[in-house]
């Protein structure tokens, strides 16, 4: 086994989630990530934790969803019961085919996602981390050789996370103290929102690995303007390109996409909260220097901003502040490398990808 797989597992168990003796650990992984699962089991045995692994097979999910009646989806009681008894969750990406669920009708993906809501809610109360095992299919998706893609993934993962945390803290402080945000890119994106009363958060590895963003939650009703997400996203096995949203009073009032607009529509129709923003994030991991069609990496890129429709993030919304509830959370990215700026309370904090505190 590649030594870097063991190092990856060590970072996940020690740095990201601090697994303790006796912890109930739930891993969800595709079969292509078996090496990382084996390395995790080795670490978890050394710690004396108790792991179980849920097999995420996209082929099985496709077969099931195609065969199901859209009205038959309900929360899986055994999955929910297992999650309730779990202390730590590892969600591992890395598949055999990113488009495996591309021929599932969107309304079924949406029903499945809705029925999963209570399990997601329960999971968010645990220590959890989302990560990625580099597979040939993911490398193909990134238009890279498998070896080069492995280098890319492990460079983004095996960092000095203390130093990265300090670098990000400068942007977190701005979000924490700021009230009004404006994001402008070219003549296609000009969106404003309030973050007054919300808390800035530092993504240093406790939730995502690789980590590397500063983020907060907009006040749900405050979002106004339009945004063109010029980086594509893959959802429900579809590549959605040039997603465009227009907001009034916090709600999406118009939308379009150059490709797979129906998939975008399906996301927005999941529930009431999926038509409002749940997150404003600013990518700051400079080891991620290229777009790879994988949100876990893409949203951390140095000169990007991402907005998510759907559920807000608990750590950013203090008691008494409005919390956007939703069964979904879908990130979408704006390229900020050219002709772009982020303004907080009337001051430019980033221009063309360079932060004020970097100048």
Peptide bond into 156 cis (omega under 30): no
Question: Does 37 contact its own copies by CB under 8 A?
Answer: yes
Sort 267 into a burial class: Cβ within 10 Å, 0-12 / 13-18 / 19+. Answer: buried
Q: How far is the CB of 331 from its own copies (least distance, A)?
A: 26
CA angle 112, 245, 329 (to 5 degrees): 35
Q: Are 342 and 355 in contact (CB under 8 A)?
A: no
CB nearer its own copies, residue 100 or residue 213: 100
Among 83, 174, 223, 240, binds its own copies (CB under 8 A): 83
Q: Which stretch binds its own copies (CB under 8 A): 58-66, 209-217, 287-295, 341-349?
A: 58-66
Question: Does 74 contact its own copies by CB under 8 A?
Answer: yes
Q: Which stretch binds its own copies (CB under 8 A): 10-18, 73-81, 220-228, 270-278?
A: 73-81
Q: Are 150 and 312 in contact (CB under 8 A)?
A: no
Place of tokens 């594509």: 232
Q: How far is the CB of 68 from its own copies (least distance, A)?
A: 4
Among 84, 122, 224, 242, binds its own copies (CB under 8 A): 84
Alpha-carbon span 256 to 243, nearest angstrom: 6
Alpha-carbon span 282 to 168, nearest angstrom: 10
Among 7, 10, 15, 50, binds its own copies (CB under 8 A): 50
CB nearer its own copies, residue 134 or residue 212: 134
Task: Give Cα 294 to chain centroid, integer Å.
Answer: 9
- Tokens representing 167 are 């670098």
CA neighbor of 219 nearest in space, from 255, 184, 247, 253:
247
Among 2, 14, 20, 45, binds its own copies (CB under 8 A): 45
Among 17, 65, 113, 222, binds its own copies (CB under 8 A): 65
Alpha-carbon span 337 to 348, nearest angstrom: 14
Q: Which stretch binds its own copies (CB under 8 A): 45-53, 141-149, 269-277, 332-340?
A: 45-53
Which residues would be at the binding site for its own copies (CB under 8 A)? 21-22, 24, 26, 29, 31, 34, 37-46, 48, 50-55, 57, 59-61, 63-69, 72, 74, 76-86
């Amino acid at each position: 086994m590649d030594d870097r797989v063991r190092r990856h597992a060590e970072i996940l168990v020690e740095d990201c989630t601090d697994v303790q003796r006796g912890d109930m650990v739930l891993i969800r992984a595709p079969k292509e990530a078996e090496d990382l699962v084996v390395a995790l089991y080795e670490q978890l045995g050394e710690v004396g934790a108790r792991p179980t692994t849920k097999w995420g097979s996209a082929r099985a999910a496709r077969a099931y969803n195609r065969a199901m009646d859209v009205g038959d989806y309900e929360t899986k009681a055994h999955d929910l019961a297992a999650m309730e008894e779990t202390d730590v969750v590892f969600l591992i990406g890395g598949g055999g085919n990113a488009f495996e669920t591309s021929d599932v009708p969107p309304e079924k993906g949406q029903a499945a996602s809705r029925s999963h809501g209570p399990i997601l809610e329960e999971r968010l109360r645990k220590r959890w981390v989302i990560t990625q095992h580099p597979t040939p299919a993911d490398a193909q998706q990134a238009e890279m050789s498998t070896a080069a893609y492995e280098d890319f993934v492990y460079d983004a993962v095996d960092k000095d996370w203390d130093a990265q945390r300090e670098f990000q803290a400068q942007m977190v402080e701005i979000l924490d103290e700021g009230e009004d945000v404006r994001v402008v890119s070219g003549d296609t994106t000009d969106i404003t929102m309030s973050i007054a009363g919300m808390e800035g958060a530092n993504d240093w590895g406790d939730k995502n690995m690789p980590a590397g963003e500063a983020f907060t939650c907009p006040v749900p009703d405050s979002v106004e303007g339009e945004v063109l997400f010029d980086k594509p996203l893959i959802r429900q096995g579809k590549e959605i390109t040039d997603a465009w949203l227009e907001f009034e009073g916090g709600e999406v009032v118009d939308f379009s996409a150059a490709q797979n607009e129906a998939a975008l529509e399906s996301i927005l129709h999941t529930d009431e909260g999926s038509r409002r923003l749940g997150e404003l994030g600013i990518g700051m991991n400079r080891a991620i220097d290229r777009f790879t069609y994988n949100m876990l990496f893409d949203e951390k890129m140095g000169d990007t901003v991402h907005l998510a429709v759907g559920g807000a993030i608990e750590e950013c919304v203090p008691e008494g502040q409005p919390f956007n509830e939703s069964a979904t959370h879908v990130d979408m990215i704006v390229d900020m490398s050219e002709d772009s700026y982020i303004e907080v309370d009337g001051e430019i904090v980033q221009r063309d990808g360079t932060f004020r505190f970097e100048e």
